Amino acid sequence: MAIRVSVGQFRELHDEDLAFARQIGASGVGINKPNLDSPAWTALLGKQFPASAAPRAPMQRWEAMDLINIRTYVENAGLTLDCIEGVPRNFIEKAVLGLPGRDAQIENFHYTLRSMGRAGIRILGYNWIPDQVWRTTRSGVGRGGAKVTGYDHALAEPVRSGALPPQSEAQMWDNYSYFIRAVLPVAEEAGVTLALHPDDPPVPELDGVARIMRSPEAFARALAIGDSPNHGLNFCMGCFAEMGPTEVYEGLERFGRAGKLVYVHFRNVTGPLPCFAESFVDEGATDVVRCLKILRDVGFDGFLIDDHVPHMVGDTVWGHRGRAYATGYIKGMVRVLEALG
Ligand SMILES: [Mn+2]
């Protein structure tokens, strides 16, 4: 078995984050939608700006030199930079919603892909979520009083904020096809693989906007439209378990056999829609050992990452305790499965 275990969701990176990742035995890290304009990244990347400079416009794309610096920083700590999980929303929001200005965003996305290739960062996660992950509570009560997020479709379904232009399912598919067909040739040329994450929650519509990446069939369609060796899935076990009782196993099997699992968000939830909450990896609706066996049997050779986890007593915002528990548990399962053959 060549399954690696990463830890991540880092919005910023500090020395202690990398030390912690090493301490819990991760082989690599993932970074999540980093805003390289933020003070922490500006300091890390050693950027200097003239004192008299006018306010800078928000960054629209990434530079190779910044990404090289980030990669080197991670590797100097004895870790690999396994992926960047998504670009900031302002890089692609017009493309997702099919708004004027999407072609400029696609041009910038090409530039970002080329920068990643030059920096040797080979995996870029992405999703087709029109705005953000939706939850109806961020203070749900999990095992032993752990703090978990939860979603109840009866509460979210009536929301009409008017924040987004309404989009039908057909429009969202059109927007998607336009984008993915434009970016994949550049991804291939740059040697970067795009990994698609589901809508979370995987419901047909929220706030007047269709959510299209919500079923195994949708992923098959997305991979057919974007047919490329440099395109696959960031298979989120939590989201697939939200779709239905067997989707997570069938999805791992189907897309694993097709060689389309780039990496896996290895997490658990209490059950499928219309109502679910996050849970610890060793409880919840999904038999995670069964999942790992499927990954082994299909010859998956990517990495697992904990995604988000319940917050434990005394935990930090990032969730050091919850993540240490999840990562240790996942590593233990992988080790046992390897030993048992
Ligand atoms: Mn996920």
User: Distance, CA 32 to ligand 1 centroid (Å)?
Assistant: 11
Domain-embedded: residue 51: no
Residue with tokens 């082994």: 296
Domain span holding position 38: 4-45+59-340
User: Distance, CA 157 to ligand 1 centroid (Å)?
Assistant: 21
The confidence band for 335, taking pLDDT boundaries of 50, 70 and 90, is very high
Peptide linkage before 201 cis (omega within 30 of 0): yes
Domain-embedded: residue 199: yes
Q: How far is CA 36 from the centre of its chain?
A: 18
Task: From 10, 15, 133, 23, select the one nearest 82 (Cα to Cα).
Answer: 10
Question: Which string of DSSP letters, residue by residue, matches 83-122?
Answer: EEE---HHHHHHHHHT-TTHHHHHHHHHHHHHHHHHHT--
User: Distance, CA 49 to ligand 1 centroid (Å)?
Assistant: 36
Instruction: For residue range 8-21, list pLDDT tens digits in order.
Output: 889 999 999 999 99
Domain-embedded: residue 54: no
CB distance 333 to 41 below 8 Å: no
Instruction: For residue range 176-199, list pLDDT tens digits in order.
Output: 999 999 999 999 999 999 999 999
Q: Write the CA distances from 192 to 74, 116, 132, integer angstroms.
A: 19, 7, 24
d(CA 141, CA 149): 8
pLDDT at 277: 98
pLDDT at 55: 77
User: Distance, CA 333 to ligand 1 centroid (Å)?
Assistant: 20
Task: From 210, 282, 284, select the one nearest 240 (Cα to Cα).
Answer: 284
Domain-embedded: residue 76: yes
Domain-embedded: residue 141: yes
The confidence band for 47, taking pLDDT boundaries of 50, 70 and 90, is confident
Domain-embedded: residue 52: no
Arithmetic mean of pLDDT over the chain = 96
pLDDT at 308: 87
Region 118-147: mean pLDDT is: 97
User: Distance, CA 277 to ligand 1 centroid (Å)?
Assistant: 13
User: Distance, CA 53 to ligand 1 centroid (Å)?
Assistant: 39
User: Distance, CA 134 to ligand 1 centroid (Å)?
Assistant: 12
Provide the number of structural domains found in the chain.
1
User: Distance, CA 251 to ligand 1 centroid (Å)?
Assistant: 14
Residue 150, pLDDT above cutoff 80: yes
User: Distance, CA 48 to ligand 1 centroid (Å)?
Assistant: 35
User: Distance, CA 69 to ligand 1 centroid (Å)?
Assistant: 26
pLDDT at 41: 94
CATH assignment at residue 185 = 3.20.20.150
User: Distance, CA 47 to ligand 1 centroid (Å)?
Assistant: 32
User: Distance, CA 193 to ligand 1 centroid (Å)?
Assistant: 17
Region 251-260: mean pLDDT is: 98
